[in-house]
Chain A
Amino acid sequence: MNGEIQLQVSGLVKRFGEETVLNGIDFCVRKGEVVVVLGPSGCGKSTLLRCMNGLESPDAGSIFLDGEAISAGGKNIAQLRQKIGMVFQSYDLFPNKNIIDNITLAPVKVQKRSKKEAEEQAEKLLKRVGLWEKRKAYPRELSGGQKQRVAIIRALCMNPEVMLFDEVTAALDPEMVREVLDVMIELANQGMTMVIVTHEMQFARAIADRVIFLDGGSIVEDSKPDEFFTNPKTKRAKDFLQTFAYEKRRTNIN
């Protein structure tokens, strides 16, 4: 893919106390590209995403969105965040607001759009994911999968340029994973620029334009999904992929 560079990460370092979680990360995401970040737990995937949304401030290095630097304490951070939607593992809908208000709160109060227009967009998006009937419901009345779809829509309703997904299906029951992933695939097909952290390997392979494999705070591999999944270059990636494969058990019954 050779569209223009939308998101650029260079020399990113993040430490928590003594521990270096990210140790010089460099990569860029082009417009419309879907990048999946894989890696063993604790390798810094989530931290990387959180830095990209200014929720963590890096100790060194920088992140640029359309050429503008993102920094947690920066003045323009709130504006930049409107261009970068983020969805979390724990949904984090606002329990004190119903679904439609959850979605329209930021468009109306932050982007100063009219309530009517924001609601129209929200309803259209809700219809698309089959949750229009739930627009007046409260988050507690929804299943995990439904909540996560609403959380995606809440981020989408800000009309972001990039969407970040941080293990959005990790807290879901298996039968609800699909409905959330389908929404993400549809989004990717519409040309949304996306950075996804996930443990769903088949999904990663299906949706990714590029796979970044992170281990020990560094990018170990950066390749096409087919290449990564069938023929990983490094031993670490091989070992990682191995953990998702099972050998058939020898049976004792003849």
Chain B
Amino acid sequence: MGLDFGFMQKYLPWYIDAAILTVRVSFFGILFSLVVGVICSVIRYYKIPVLQRIVSVYIEISRNTPLLVQLFFLYFGLPKIGIVWSAEICAVVGLAFLGGSYMSESIRSGLESVEKSQIESAASLGMSKALTMKEVIFPQALASSVPGICANVIFLIKETSVVSGIALADLMYVTKDLIGLYYETDEALIMLVAFYLVILLPVSVLASLIERRLRYAGFGN
């Protein structure tokens, strides 16, 4: 099998642009999914009436529908009621919608792992619920939900490959394009895999470093 290196070199800029797009969509999608996750997990943790129900419905919908379907809804469905977003915004919102529920569940299990006696001792010092959450519960919860959060980050970056479905020129899209245009299947696929690895390996290494550090720091009372 002879690889056409000239071809690979020629279309390298396409891949670089696509990779930048993938990273951008991932970054904002994951950022917002963390925000959604924190809000939802705190609502569920405190069992806030009404909101709690809304959150559980959201989580079920979000986790039990494919991202591609969610994207179609945003990209093709919303314009029917007058909301028109660019493909990239749809991708970010879709990723945040999907990721929010996963992040929420990871963070919630962290929140629930914080011992009740910690909350009582904060209360006995006159600390309010909000202050206790911010200073005592949340930092400890975050530490124990890091492995889950890291797994979600990697999962969400990989999920971005479906944004090509709404004509966003990400790595997957460029690859399919090139294969369609030139039949240089091997080269295009190798480039695709290589670029995903270039993005994901550092994230994965970083994640395990953070996890290890936290394990050493081993909170524990």
Contacts and interface: CB of A to CB of B under 8 A. Distances in A.
B69 interface: no
A140 B219 contact: yes
B128 A78 contact: yes
B128 to A, nearest CB: 6
Nearest to A147: B221
Contacts of A91: 221
B136 A96 contact: yes
Contacts of A106: 122, 125-127
Interface string A81-99: 1101110101111111100
B135 interface: yes
Nearest to B125: A106
Interface stretch (B71-79, B113-121, B186-194): B113-121
Contacts of B123: 54-55, 81
Contact of B127 (A88, A110, A155): A110
A82 B126 contact: yes
Given A53-B124, A90-B117, A92-B117, A140 B218 contact: yes
A96 B126 contact: no
A165 B120 CA distance: 14
Interface in B111-149: 115, 117-118, 120-128, 131, 135-136, 139-140, 143
B139 A96 contact: yes
A82 B218 CA distance: 31
Contacts of A45: none
A66 to B, nearest CB: 16
A105 interface: yes
Nearest to A96: B139
Nearest to A83: B126
A154 interface: yes
A39 interface: no
Contact of B125 (A95, A96, A139, A154): A154
Among B121, B125, B126, B218, residue most surrounded by chain A Cβ atoms (within 10 Å): B125
Contacts of B122: 94, 106
A242 to B, nearest CB: 33
A105 B125 contact: yes
A78 B123 CA distance: 7
Nearest to B135: A105
A211 interface: no
B219 A55 contact: no
Contacts of B143: 96
B220 interface: yes
A79 interface: yes
A140 B221 CA distance: 6
Interface of A: 53-55, 78-79, 81-82, 84-86, 88, 90-97, 105-106, 109-111, 139-140, 147, 151, 154-155, 158
7 contacts: A55-B124, A78-B127, A81-B124, A94-B118, A96-B143, A109-B127, A110-B131
Given A109-B127, A140-B219, 14 more contacts: A55-B120, A81-B123, A85-B124, A91-B221, A92-B117, A93-B121, A94-B121, A94-B135, A95-B219, A95-B220, A105-B127, A110-B125, A140-B220, A154-B125
